Structure 1
Amino acid sequence: MATERMHAFLRERAEGDLLPWRAQCDLAERFDASLGEIEDAALAAGLLPGRYRRNRETVSVEEQLRLFRSRVVVIGCGGLGGYLVEQLARIGVGELALVDPDVFEEHNLNRQLLSSPAHLGRAKVEVGCERVAAVNPAVTTSAHRVAFSLENARGLLAGSAAVVDGLDNTLVRRDLAAVCRELGVPLVHGAIAGWYGQVAAQLPGDDLSPLLRSASASGRGVEATLGNPSFTPAVIASLQVAEVVKVLLGRGRPLSGRSLFVDLLDMRFEEIGHA
């Protein structure tokens, strides 16, 4: 009965097939429900929350519901991770798990979207959750202030529809790819250094290890010498989010078995198959 009443009120407050934000908030209060529960009910009833109005020509209501019922784990909430968290929340992925052991430092301010002088010394995952709550309060977040490892991997990745790599260490990336391969969880990889970046996807049955073969003893990549300006993580993270959405919706041609190398200095994009 409560569900029927909620659907009746959803229809009553809708403007055509759109549910305005104010109505979403009012219904959450009326039915003592979370904003996420109201959003799920609206999408299930074929109504599109007004915030996704500009998604509709790209993502159908049914696909928006699929995104909202998906759990995505973001490993690393720094240069890549801040943009990943922001865009995944805005596109409407309903549950985000944020994993990172670090706090913001001054040298993060040039490129890490979630950083600001006011956030120096604060945990990146906590700031990330606050940002999602401000941007899209219907999205559920969980903060895991730990370094990803083989010991905690299965607990962190349990129930995930996809995992996104925002790491800066190739050795840890190898472990992440191995666990995702073992669990059959899609992984979207991204890496940045200076003007350059790369994106790849490891779907069930794929193996990213050839791409991650070379690494220093510490696992740190060439970004240690090339640096990272503000625009490179923004570009690569955007490409990663596009890959995640394709994977979750079963759309298009994900970068499975191949990598996209990006050269922003000469503005070149090159696909290379994994050997």
Structure 2
Amino acid sequence: MDDLDAYIRSRAEGDLFHWDSQVDAAERFGTTLARVEEAALAQGLLPARYQRNRQAISVNDQLTLFRSRVAVIGCGGLGGYVIEELARLGVGTIIAIDPDVFEEHNLNRQLLSSPGTLGRAKVEAAAARVAEINPAVTLLPREEAYAPENGMELLRGAQVIVDALDSIQTRLALAKTCTDLGVPMVHGAIGGWYGQVATQFPGDDTVQKLYRRWVEGKGVEQKLGNPSFTPALVASIEVAEVCKILLGVGEPLHNRKLSVNLLEIIFVSVDMINDPPSAAD
């Protein structure tokens, strides 16, 4: 790919590499937009779409994100926003897992839903959206339900796993699969004006603590519903956690739970070592 590298350098403007040049390079050298993006980043050139990341995320960090693989379990209220933000952030490979299709009641809050996508598989809509907003990112759609029996295979190779589920039972199973894989899991849950986020690292039992009093059912979401703004906020916090984990920066919500109350604008970080039962129990 020496010719590709030389071409990329010749088309750079300072340390920026613009989208039209990226598209031209892929066509000229018969390769993918992903390969061109990685080649530019490897030379210390920043694809111009990421220039507003520059003060927070270095070019080397952007390359790390592009070479990363993140799995998102659930492509609904939380998952749609998570996928959108991961793609715009520049995470190179996203595994999207969901067996469902869009229904009319999804339209109030699920970013990937529209009247035109009703009846369409959520993972198909996710793939189409990512192809539209950042074609250099690869989204791998998995139109099937996560279960303990298939979890190891579905999630293999992921460096971080994002919980965007609405089932506590499935979430607890996912936490165990993440532990077995030795991979961090970013947990998010929503209900009405409220939400919570926590990050479980291998060897922790954070999610089990959060739901230690759960007996059955899906949790408070079924009682409180979900307006449009709650999943958007909680998903954004989840993506920030993913970014910190992949780049090894900042302080993740390790052994902590962030509780969000948007009705009264109260954010509380709770030490999970001595955590009282969660509102989601």
* Counterpart position of 1:18: 16
Indicate which of 167, 170, 173 corresponds to 2:171: 173
Q: Does residue 34 of the first structure (1) align with residue 42 of the second (2)?
A: no
How far the C-alpha of 1:205 sits from its partner, in A, is 2.4
Letter in 2 for 1:28: A
* Counterpart position of 2:230: 232
Segments of structure 2 that go 5 or more residues without pairing to the other structure are 274-281
* Counterpart position of 2:210: 211
8 Å CA contact 1:68, 1:95 repeated in 2: yes
* Counterpart position of 2:278: none
| Secondary structure at the counterpart of residue 58 of structure 1 | coil
* Counterpart position of 2:68: 70
Q: Does residue 263 of the first structure (1) align with residue 261 of the second (2)?
A: yes
Q: TM-score, with normalisation over the residues of structure 2? A: 0.95
Q: Distance in 1 between matches of 2:34 and 2:225?
A: 39
How far the C-alpha of 1:216 sits from its partner, in A, is 4.1
Percent pairwise identity: 58
8 Å CA contact 1:173, 1:212 repeated in 2: no
Q: Does residue 81 of the first structure (1) align with residue 105 of the second (2)?
A: no
How far the C-alpha of 1:254 sits from its partner, in A, is 0.2
Letter in 2 for 1:76: G
Q: Distance in 2 between matches of 1:110 and 1:216?
A: 29
Q: Does residue 242 of the first structure (1) align with residue 240 of the second (2)?
A: yes
Deviations 1:208-255 (A, max 9, x none): 21012233423x011111110000000000000000000000000000
Q: Distance in 1 between matches of 2:51 and 2:122?
A: 30
The within-5 A match list for 1:24-173 is 24-173=22-171
How far the C-alpha of 1:174 sits from its partner, in A, is 0.3
Query: After TM superposition, where is structure 1 displaced by more than 3 Å over at least 4 residues in a row?
Result: none
Letter in 2 for 1:103: V
Q: TM-score, with normalisation over the residues of structure 1? A: 0.98
How far the C-alpha of 1:274 sits from its partner, in A, is 1.7
| Secondary structure at the counterpart of residue 262 of structure 1 | strand
Q: Distance in 2 between matches of 1:214 and 1:256?
A: 21
How far the C-alpha of 1:112 sits from its partner, in A, is 0.3
Q: Distance in 1 between matches of 2:170 and 2:212?
A: 12
8 Å CA contact 1:72, 1:161 repeated in 2: yes
Letter in 1 for 2:115: P
* Counterpart position of 1:251: 249
| Secondary structure at the counterpart of residue 148 of structure 2 | coil
| Secondary structure at the counterpart of residue 257 of structure 2 | strand
| Secondary structure at the counterpart of residue 210 of structure 1 | helix
